[in-house]
Amino acid sequence: MSTGKPRTRTPVLIASIALFAMGAAGLALGTVLAVTHEATSPTAARQSVVYIWTDWIDPTTGEEWAGSGSGFFIGDKGKDPEYLITNAHVIEGPHSSGTGEILVVFSGAQNDVVYPEIKHVDYAKDFAILKLSEPTSKRRALPFTLSKDVEVGQSAYALGYPGAAEDASSYSPKDVGDMSTTQGIISRKTSAAFADAQVWEMDVAIHPGNSGGPLVTEDGAVIGINTWKQEETMNFAVVIDELLPVLRTNDLPYSVYSSAPATWMIIAFIFGGLALAGAITLTLVAFPAKGGKRGSGGAGAGRGVAQVDGKAPVLRGTTGQYAGAEIKVDGRVNIGRDAARCHVVYDRSVPGISAVHCSVTWDPTARTFLVEDHGSTYGTFLASGQKLASGVPARLGVGDGFYLAERTNAFVLGLV
């Protein structure tokens, strides 16, 4: 009876195969979650916005009037929407006078317009809900991010058609490509003097014609309705939470953006990566390369550890959400809040983290790590406290550390 090596290696080979299968399943699940995750971007959110044009006759004077603004669609995720939101003051003329018309313009160049029904108007909070005669595939519904998940100081984007009110009698072309996007930050949530509602005070630029358009996050989720311009740097948007009682009372569809899928995606990627690393390690233990023994000395001993000992570059969390986590650095690893673009994704409740905050890359030639900030709002710092210049990779060695925004979001670089 033989007692040779094939018999002793079989259990290790079986374990390697099992770990490989588990790792592949974890990575596949993470990929599916990344693809189907609902977070998008301000650019993609433009596909939810329309130009709104109105005209009416003043019943007292008989004069003809015209106005315009913006609006955005709401509804269930993945379904064609039929309800849209705008400001009450945008449609006040036709609504109050009982004359004229309201047009929702998908494409003025193609004369693609519809006449909506007024479903609800709240002048106190300055919002209105319009309803199409049937759902449309020409726009998608925007998800909400509720005020409890919005941080003072975070970036926000106003989408709409500013300047359109200056020539409201002409609404051509007013396609998606004619829309404006402006960026700024949220200053605070406060009460409004012009409406009985909670509003976001912000430095996001809005102008006549922006009224009724959405204020969205970096994830493309709507947090407010652009409403009022007081000064060049003091603008206001009605907090999207103000809509919820009316939507719930009338059983109108809407969706709320959730970062929960991102958490499961991270778990799937980490689990998959660790399982694959375990499979590779077990295989190398059971079947070492010919011409040498594991751990033997000789020329180059102690150099190129990742190649000689099968060690892999990793990112270890030391504080915060990722404390104790170990992420394999295979190619470029993006860190931030955007689950669609990042491999290490922070919860929205963690302050100071940008959509794609920074990245980590392993340089196998120099056997060092490259850490690069990607224009983050609150910065990426070395362990020493030195702030990295945006777009300029910093070369770090094994054992070096860095953090995002605060030391409560710290990592150290290593090999395993």
Q: Are residues 228 and 124 in the same domain?
A: yes
Q: What pLDDT, on the 0 to 100 scale, is given for residue 308?
A: 31
Q: Are residues 75 and 34 in the same domain?
A: no
Q: Are residues 3 and 104 in the same domain?
A: no
Can you give the residue range of the structural domain that contains 400?
Answer: 292-416
Q: Are residues 22 and 97 in the same domain?
A: no
Strand partners, 234: 231
Q: Mean pLDDT throughout 390-401?
A: 93
pLDDT at residue 249 is higher than 50: yes
Coil/strand/helix, residue 210 = coil
What length does the chain have?
416
Give the tens place of pLDDT for each residue, 325-345: 999 998 899 999 998 898 999
pLDDT at residue 303 is higher than 60: no
Q: What share of the chain is helix, strand, coil (3-state, %, to 5)?
A: 25, 30, 45
Q: What pLDDT, on the 0 to 100 scale, is given for residue 4?
A: 36
Q: What pLDDT, on the 0 to 100 scale, is given for residue 408?
A: 92
Closest CA to 33 of 251, 264, 231: 264
For residue 179, tell me if it sits in a domain: yes
Q: Are residues 58 and 126 in the same domain?
A: yes
Q: Are residues 10 and 67 in the same domain?
A: no
Q: Are residues 340 and 279 in the same domain?
A: no
For residue 151, tell me if it sits in a domain: yes
Q: What pLDDT, on the 0 to 100 scale, is given for residue 244?
A: 92
Given pLDDT bands bounded at 50, 70 and 90, which one contains residue 117? very high
pLDDT at residue 55 is higher than 60: yes
Q: Are residues 298 and 364 in the same domain?
A: yes
Q: What pLDDT, on the 0 to 100 scale, is given for residue 230?
A: 76
- Name the token pair of 166: 């200056």
User: How many domains, the chain?
Assistant: 3
CATH of the domain at 238: 2.40.10.120
Q: Are residues 163 and 236 in the same domain?
A: yes
Of the given ranges (7-21, 58-72, 240-254, 255-269), which has the lowest mean pLDDT? Answer: 7-21
Given pLDDT bands bounded at 50, 70 and 90, which one contains residue 23? low
Percent of the chain whose predicted confidence (pLDDT) is above 90: 58
Q: How many CB atoms neighbour CB 240 within 10 A? A: 28
pTM over 0.75: no
Q: What pLDDT, on the 0 to 100 scale, is given for residue 21?
A: 60
Coil/strand/helix, residue 171 = coil
Start-end of H helices in 259-355: 260-286, 305-308
For residue 361, tell me if it sits in a domain: yes
pLDDT at residue 232 is higher than 70: no
Q: What pLDDT, on the 0 to 100 scale, is given for residue 164?
A: 45
Q: What pLDDT, on the 0 to 100 scale, is given for residue 36?
A: 41
Q: Mean pLDDT throughout 134-140?
A: 96
Q: What pLDDT, on the 0 to 100 scale, is given for residue 377?
A: 87
More confident residue, 33 or 123: 123
Q: Are residues 303 and 409 in the same domain?
A: yes
Between the alpha carbon of residue 131 and those of residues 72, 74, 78, 175, the distances in Å are 11, 10, 18, 20
Secondary element (H or E) of residue 370: strand 368-373
Q: Are residues 46 and 133 in the same domain?
A: yes
Q: Are residues 29 and 57 in the same domain?
A: no
Q: Where are the beta strands (DSSP E) in 35-173?
A: 49-57, 64-74, 83-86, 101-107, 112-114, 117-122, 127-131, 155-160
Q: What is the mean pLDDT of the chain?
A: 81
More confident residue, 397 or 169: 397
Q: What pLDDT, on the 0 to 100 scale, is given for residue 170?
A: 47
Of the given ranges (106-115, 198-207, 273-282, 315-324), which has the lowest mean pLDDT? Answer: 273-282
